[in-house]
Amino acid sequence: MDKYQAENRIRKLSGEINKLRYQYHVLDAPEVTDEVYSSLMDELKSLEEKFPELQFGDSPTQRIGGKPLEKFQKVVHAVRQWSFSDIFSFSDLQKWEERTLRLISKSKIQISNESQNSKLKTLPTGGGQAKNHKLSTTNLDYVAEIKIDGLKIILTYKDGFFIQGATRGDGLIGEDVTENLKTIQSLPLRLNYPVSGVFVGECFLGKSELSRINADREKRGEALFANSRNAAAGSIRQLDPKIAASRKLDCFIYDIDQLEIQNPKSKIQNKSQISNSNIQNNFLQTALKFPQTQIEELALLKKLGFKVNSETKLCKSVEEVEEFYQSWIHEKDSEDYGIDGVVLKINSISMQNMLGYTGKSPRWGVAYKFPAEKVTTVVEDVSVQVGRTGALTPLAHLRPVSVAGSTVSRATLHNEDEIKRLDLRIGDTVVIHKAGDIIPEIVEVLPGLRTGKEKKFQMPKTCPICGGPVKREVIIKPKKEEDGNGQESAATYCINPSCFAVEKEKLIHFVSKKGFNIDGMGEKIVEHLLSENLISNMAEIFELKVGDLEPLERFAEKSAANLIESIEKSKAIKFEKFLFALGIRHVGEETALLISKDINAQIQNLKDVIEYFPKITVDDWRNIKGIGEKSAQSLVNWFSHDNNLEQLRKMDELGVQVIFHKPQTTNHKLAGTTFVLTGELQDFTRDQVKDIIREKGGQISSSVSKKTDYVLVGDNPGSKYDKAKELGVKIISEEEFRKMIG
């Protein structure tokens, strides 16, 4: 066979294998046996080995990469990845719809009842012609999609070819897992049309595949995966693609973030530009209708060649959504993949674009989660953990029990008052659930099952770690803002400043991303270094050398060098991050930022901090707008402690450079004013409001006091709203705030 004949044969084999793959893994309608499929693959591999220059990027043989990776590379997402807000009841669903309709009314839009796709028409804003239209639930169409319990994946295609796959990460930056995603047979390496774009879906592992994997692991004496989601997450992050391939992952794709066609005049369009008529015309030229609705978007994904879940329903009301939701509560276990709820989206894409996003999630959709699973188990013991501030937190040790797909053996008890409220005793049978399917929590004690051998728990009189003295403090802790009521509770603290547990948590806080951001220095490494007496406080971190680390069990030469390099890079740090990293009680990110903006010009480096900060009094600190009594007292206490100052001196000697930067404001409309935010903002995200206030010379405070100038209130305000009314502080709406900033 010559090269020309081989090329023709390779193209035909690739096309036939991809067709069979699609029929088997996407349509679930195999036409040939596995033996036939394998035979075709063997022939293709043989030809590509003989003619390697004819191996194309989308060849079926390229689904399993070669060498394992050393580490995953970071990926900056082209489009920010959001998470839907969770709701847990029909009442929550109704409230969400009410909020959405209010926002629509405020935005002066109406829905054309004549439009089959519920397209929006923007009313004129000039000449006094705009009118508010009262909307009813009959005006909105919703798309209900079952929520797959898997791992979010972001796929990038160029001219129809798959070029990159990533995990969600923090929404802005994920990890490149391209080679592992190529192993998913239902994911096309080449689309049916030469489009470019970013597509979003869910990677999962089938329950039957999980059973097979766990059976193999059990034979080898390895730990079993608790559930399919954990197994999928672990598989997608394997450095060796061959391991990922062996686990037969699958995926459903459900969203288009960006789309571009093979046309020199077209540009990448974000979803927010989805209704651009010129782009629509380009798509019509290529036989692809640009979607105007979520239903059409799912159809387009399917047409491109993606696997799309068919369990979707177009609903005309939230009552229909509820019917769909209730049906899947009973049916969810019948599928081979995990289902943990229903995702609800407004059908009209132009409506989605208009509603936009809050700081964390889309306003145009929610995740309607299934009820958290509740089970009973026995409290076998109660231990106490010690945190960064010295707080003693009781922890219930449970008889292991499976709940919401994972095995639970511990649950937090928060504090001594919570134990008394539950009347909980060691040996009790209790009801636990995973709030939001995440955090194990004891919600009820079943006293009727007591035998008389149960023991009451007593908070220790001394620290369980260092044996030092403890004290009990009664505090008024606000509940979630939407609840609006304060709650009195008591916390017990270790007051030994040298407590190992306290020092460990302080160091973990110190090196965290919001502090010095020392990459590679996680909780286990900190504990290891403390246990080996290589460090005993924050300053000693900067004394570490490669030779100190190499003899330790966890460190090879390269990992030791990497950590030392990370420590060196962290030495230059902004003042507000430096102050936050010190872990001063009641001094969080916002307080640190307020102080950084108010610093005297003569303080320019760490030496100045060491010299001047111990001289600042409580009243001086409180003169900074937004700094309260507790924060001021904590600052004075911290900077009057000789050991703390000695650590700062050592950091200075070891090259830690604190960077002082005062932002220059060109618009001082809000100069000298302090704002407090409360409630759910509709037209802004909280971060946007904070940035605007700071840019215009104002300040943000986390609590209301007589020094507060304005309290900006959104929907469902909390205790800060009540406090503002009590103190006579001016309360403003988003509309009033918009007028203030001009």
Write out pLDDT tens, residues 501-546.
888 989 999 999 889 999 999 888 998 888 888 888 899 999 998 8
Reading the block at residue 508, the tokens are 């973990």
The pLDDT assigned to 708 comes to 92
pLDDT along the chain (742 residues), means of 10: 81 78 59 63 77 74 60 87 88 92 71 33 28 44 93 94 90 89 92 93 91 87 76 80 86 93 49 43 58 94 94 94 91 87 94 84 92 83 88 91 76 87 93 66 88 93 90 62 48 86 90 92 89 88 87 76 93 93 89 83 87 93 86 94 93 93 63 86 79 80 87 82 88 89 80
Question: CA-to-CA distance for 660 and 575, rounded, in angstroms?
Answer: 6
Output the six-digit token pair for 81.
């990845």
In whole angstroms, what is the distance from residue 495 CA to residue 502 CA? Answer: 9
In 640-690, the DSSP E strands lie at 657-659, 674-678
Contact 729, 707 (CB under 8 A): no
Cβ(137)–Cβ(318) below 8 Å: yes
d(C-alpha 386, C-alpha 374), whole Å: 28
Phi and psi torsions of 682, nearest 5°: -105, -40
From CA 371, how far away is CA 597, in angstroms rounded? Answer: 46
Pairing of strands 429-435, 439-445: antiparallel
Complete DSSP assignment for 520-550? T--HHHHHHHHHTTS-SSSGGGGG--HHHHT
pLDDT for the residue 68: 58
pLDDT of residue 518: 94
Average pLDDT, the chain: 81
Distance CA 160, CA 496 (A): 63
Give the active site residues: 147
CB 198 within 8 A of CB 257: yes
pLDDT of residue 131: 32
Residue 50: the pLDDT is 80
Going from the C-alpha of 543 to that of each of 37, 548, 549, 553, 654, the distances in angstroms are 60, 10, 11, 20, 7
282 alpha carbon, distance to own chain's centre: 36
Rounded distance, CA 479 to CA 665, Å?
Answer: 35
Q: Whole-angstrom Cα distance, residue 699 to residue 596?
A: 12
Q: Could you give the CA distance from residue 502 to residue 386 in angstroms, rounded to a whole number?
A: 6
Q: Is-above-0.75 flag for pTM?
A: no
Is residue 636 within 8 A of residue 614, CB to CB? The reply is no
Distance CA 165, CA 154 (A): 6
Token pair in block for residue 124? 């004129």
* Three-state DSSP state, 460: coil
Residue-wise pLDDT tens digits, 378-419: 999 999 988 888 889 899 999 988 776 567 888 888 888 889
496 vs 470: CA distance, rounded Å:
8
Q: Are the C-beta atoms of 392 and 461 separated by less than 8 Å? A: no
What phi, psi does 342 have (nearest 5°)? Answer: -125, 130
Return the closest-CA partner of residue 639 out of 653, 620, 657.
620
The rounded distance, in Å, linking the Cα atoms of 321 and 368 is 10
User: Is the Cα torsion angle 568, 569, 572, 577 positive or negative in sign?
Assistant: negative
Tokens at 175, concatenated: 């990890």
